[in-house]
Amino acid sequence: MFIGGWRVARTPLLDIAYEEHGSPGGVPVILLHGFPDDPRVYDGTIDGLERLGCRAIVPWLRGYGPTRFRDPGTLRSGQQAALGADLRDLIEAVRIGPAILVGYDWGGRAACMVAALWPERCRGLVTVGGYNIQDLARANQPGSVDNEYRAWYQWYFNTERGRAGLEQNRRDISRLLWQLWSPNWRFDASTW
């Protein structure tokens, strides 16, 4: 299905909106964004993949952009298993063979889950920030102070205050996270 500049892949749980670029017969590469971004983060990557003859598929993950849950009663979850299942279902819905999976944050987690649980769907794996499947058995053990402070926003967004803060200050929060995560990158007003 093609709607307003993007396609929609119907999966059992979601109608996943995605863009497709390059050669339909090329090596499939799925580019997966993280929080708080969207497919625009890969705009600078698409031309290079097209020159290589790849087929680039760039979806909006659950909770982002025009991707929608098919049933309004479906539990909204950002669990790693849910993200991985979404990606597996997208791969099946667009009927491609094994793909090169590229992602960071939520997208990296989805890519790692598919590589671990459905390796026949993964031709290659590129993740920013490393292999990011969470060790749930040790999830409640504290990490180093340096790592714990970097995850403040995860707790913040689980509060009513955090929901309201994100609604009111989305750009400022995004800018702060970008500055914390990429301290050597020089941002200007056009970046955010």
Give residue limits of the domains in the chain. Answer: 2-134, 143-192
Whether the CB-CB separation of 165 and 173 falls below 8 Å is answered with yes
User: Can you tell me the distance from the alpha carbon of 14 to that of 62, in angstroms, rounded to the nearest whole number?
Assistant: 8
Predicted confidence (pLDDT) per residue in 51-66, tens digit: 999 999 999 999 999 9
Which single residue is written with the structure tokens 């009111």? 168
CATH code 3.40.50.1820 for 2-134: yes
Split at pLDDT 50, 70, 90, the class of 155 is confident
Residue 138 is given by DSSP the state G
Is residue 135 over pLDDT 80?
no
Report the greatest alpha carbon distance in the chain: 48
- Give the global pTM: 0.75
Total residues found in the chain within this entry: 192
User: How far is the C-alpha of 107 from the C-alpha of 60, rounded, in Å?
Assistant: 10
